[in-house]
Amino acid sequence: MSEYRAPTDDMLFVLEHIADLSELASREGYEHADLETVEGVLDEAARFMEEQLAPLNRKGDEEGVVVENGQIFHPDGFADAYERFVEAGWNGIALDEGHGGGGMPWCVGLAVQEMMTAANMAFSLCPLLTQGAIDAISHHAGETLQEIYLPRMISGEWSGTMNLTEPHAGSDVGALTTKATPGEEGTWLISGTKIFITYGEHELSENIIHLVLARTPDAPPGTKGISLFIVPKFLVNEDGSLGERNDLRVVSSEHKIGIHASPTCVMSYGDEGGAIGWMVGEENSGMRAMFTMMNNARLSVGLQGLSLTDRSYQQARQYSIDRKQGKAIGSELTAGESSPIADHADVRRMLMTMRANAEAMRCVMYANAASIDFANSASDASERDYWDALTALLTPISKGWGTDLGVEMTSLGVQTHGGMGYVEETGAAQHWRDVRIAPIYEGTNGIQAADLVFRKLPLGGGQVIEKLVLDMVNLAEDLTKDERLISIGRALDEGTQKLREAALWLGSRLAAEPNDAAAGSTPFMRLAGVVIGGYYLARSAQIAQELLDGGKGNTDFLSDKIATALFYAEQIMPTVSGLVPAITQGAERLFAIPNERL
């Protein structure tokens, strides 16, 4: 298995030219996020993730976690690495300075998170869930609860979880039955069972702060009757020290396809009378807080598709250079010599497909994160509304398109290794197995696609996506004036037309034939991801060409950036034309065969 190396040069390029880091650094609260400082942060993060987390990735996959006497333990090295992770401050790099965080823009935090996830996805899930819990507490809990929990969660001394799913409910959160009854002094007693709780029990942090969805007495049915509660593993004394163990326990940890070192727990609350919890926000408002957690997590889960694609690409690239087999067309090898398989056209096609998609995903996801930063630092309500709407539009694309691609690209990584990719010896299969959960996490990708079509396309009467389309049209027009980039401009123009055509058709079906819109939602999510990813790569190529023309920057890096964008435009963008008929076909064929004959 090849070593992981964080692609900091590309990360910085995207932060500077796509996420517009310089503009962010001019805004109040982000003054410390200048490019030079961020470069130093990313270099240090890369060193930590490469040296501390990446070497544990294979060990975690092979050994997994162990459940003993109601406790869960990781393989040797994980606890020490987590302690160093906390001490270095990486858990809170982009979190609130007022509670001890680093206060960096979220786009910078996402870059650090990309490295962590690529280095060791199983490890990364603990900080990811903590981050979602922090976001929910920050936005919805009262000041007292924030003061008790946020500082130590932001530092990473305490971790967090999301407890949504129940055995009978799945993605139908409104069907949950976990109960909350009034306790003493404003507390609540929680009882019920939750499943698929990532890092529900472990030994890495001192305390685990569970955010649990439950129903209070006489709550209305469905999602309108759900409340959210903080339920700590250990109760917290008035002086901040840890007190008694709460009435909750891990029942088991699931045996999974991948991420073996990430415990996926069945949790039981209230076996001895009720786990003590504190309500977050108002009664029956748990869904609002839940969506705060999930929207935060959805971008991070989308990032898993990018991170594992890049890790798989790095390994496949190195293997294809080292592995020699056959003679490439046009080679001048003597008898008995073989070419590196990277010289064969189909292997090169796979490698370029992985590389181009990784760069497209990085652009979309960093732009998504930057839109959150621009919304948070907006000077007026209208600007904030614009950035909030763009965030809402990009998030299901980042999550759905990004994780679908992650599975496909890591599969290409296995294919590049040939037969050696299908055995565990090379480690190529681990990336594929680990990322396979990502299209399921935080709302399956079918839910992401439905959210995109039914909720996000109509935002602002369709003006949000129309504004993005207009930006694409203008860029395409500019690029077609440059002979060196004309094929990128033409591909972007064609893709933008298809995106608009499909979006208008779906919009016309939302009210009249909603099932037709539902049927076309998944291929539309793919189309939107491909085209928007192509748009950001087109911008990258334009900027790279301008820098080359001005004699600035690393010539090889910028030339490769343009070559990757050209490959994407000529090999990947044309696929969107084939998606439009599937999007606009309607639902009739999906339901032509009755259930009993399926």
Q: What is the mean pLDDT of residues 80-95?
A: 97
Establish if 300 belongs to a structural domain: no
**Dihedral pair phi/psi, residue 244, rounded to 5°:** -70, 155
Q: What confidence score (pLDDT) does residue 2 get?
A: 67
Tell me the pLDDT band of 293, cut-offs 50, 70 and 90.
confident
Helices and strands counted in the chain (H then E): 18, 12
How crowded is residue 329: how many other Cβ atoms within 10 Å of its Cβ? 9
DSSP secondary structure of 188-202: EEEEEEEEEEETSS-
- Answer yes or no: is pLDDT of 463 > 90: yes
Burial class (CB in 10 A: 0-12, 13-18, 19+), 555: exposed
81-90, 219-228, 396-405, 569-578: range with lowest mean pLDDT: 219-228
Tell me the pLDDT band of 518, cut-offs 50, 70 and 90.
very high
Establish if 519 belongs to a structural domain: yes
Establish if 552 belongs to a structural domain: yes
Q: What confidence score (pLDDT) does residue 153 get?
A: 97
Instruction: Give 325-366 pLDDT, tens digit per residue.
Output: 999 998 888 888 999 999 999 999 999 999 999 999 999 999
Q: At how many degrees (to 10) do helices 428-435 and 121-140 cross?
A: 30
Instruction: Give 296-321 pLDDT, tens digit per residue.
Output: 789 999 999 999 999 999 999 999 99
DSSP 333: P
Q: Write down how long the chain is.
A: 598
Separation between Cα atoms, residue 439 and residue 169, nearest integer Å: 18
- Global pTM value: 0.96
| Percent of the chain scoring above 90 in pLDDT | 92
Q: What is the mean pLDDT of residues 256-283?
A: 96
Instruction: Give 383-440 pLDDT, tens digit per residue.
Output: 999 999 999 999 999 999 999 999 999 999 999 999 999 999 999 999 999 999 999 9
Q: What confidence score (pLDDT) does residue 69 get?
A: 87
Q: What confidence score (pLDDT) does residue 259 get?
A: 98
The H or E element that residue 572 is part of is none
Establish if 490 belongs to a structural domain: yes
* CA-wise closest residue to 292 among 194, 220, 391: 391
**Four-residue CA torsion sign, 234, 235, 239, 240:** positive
* Tokens matching residue 117: 């996830």
Q: What confidence score (pLDDT) does residue 70 get?
A: 87
- In DSSP terms, 236 is beta-bridged to 242
Residue 442 annotated in active site:
yes
Q: What confidence score (pLDDT) does residue 442 get?
A: 85
55-69, 253-267, 294-308: range with lowest mean pLDDT: 294-308
Calculate the alpha carbon distances from 112 to 43, 95, 140, 220, 539 in Å.
10, 13, 26, 42, 23
- Answer yes or no: is pLDDT of 201 > 70: yes
Q: What is the mean pLDDT of residues 506-532?
A: 97
Q: What confidence score (pLDDT) does residue 575 get?
A: 97
Which one of the listed residues 442, 494, 570, 596 is annotated catalytic?
Answer: 442
165/228: higher pLDDT: 228
Establish if 92 belongs to a structural domain: no
281 conformational bin, left if phi > 0, alpha if psi -120 to 50, beta if neither: left
- Answer yes or no: is pLDDT of 1 > 70: no
Establish if 178 belongs to a structural domain: no
DSSP 271: T
Q: How many domains does the chain have?
A: 1
Separation between Cα atoms, residue 125 and residue 261, nearest integer Å: 10
Contacts for 472 with CB less than 8 Å, ≥ 6 apart? 492, 495, 496, 499, 531, 535
- Answer yes or no: is pLDDT of 176 > 90: no
Domain that holds residue 459: 445-598
- Answer yes or no: is pLDDT of 584 > 60: yes
Q: What confidence score (pLDDT) does residue 172 get?
A: 66
Establish if 58 belongs to a structural domain: no
- Answer yes or no: is pLDDT of 104 > 70: yes
- Determine the longest span between alpha carbons in the chain, in angstroms: 85
Tell me the pLDDT band of 169, cut-offs 50, 70 and 90.
low
Establish if 499 belongs to a structural domain: yes
* CA-wise closest residue to 470 among 432, 431, 497: 497
**Residue 68 identity:** E
Output the average pLDDT for the chain. Answer: 95
Separation between Cα atoms, residue 535 and residue 394, nearest integer Å: 13
**Four-residue CA torsion sign, 567, 570, 571, 574:** positive
Q: At how many degrees (to 10) do helices 8-17 and 345-376 cross?
A: 50
Q: What confidence score (pLDDT) does residue 428 get?
A: 97
* Residue 354 and residue 410 in contact, taking contact as beta carbons nearer than 8 Å: no
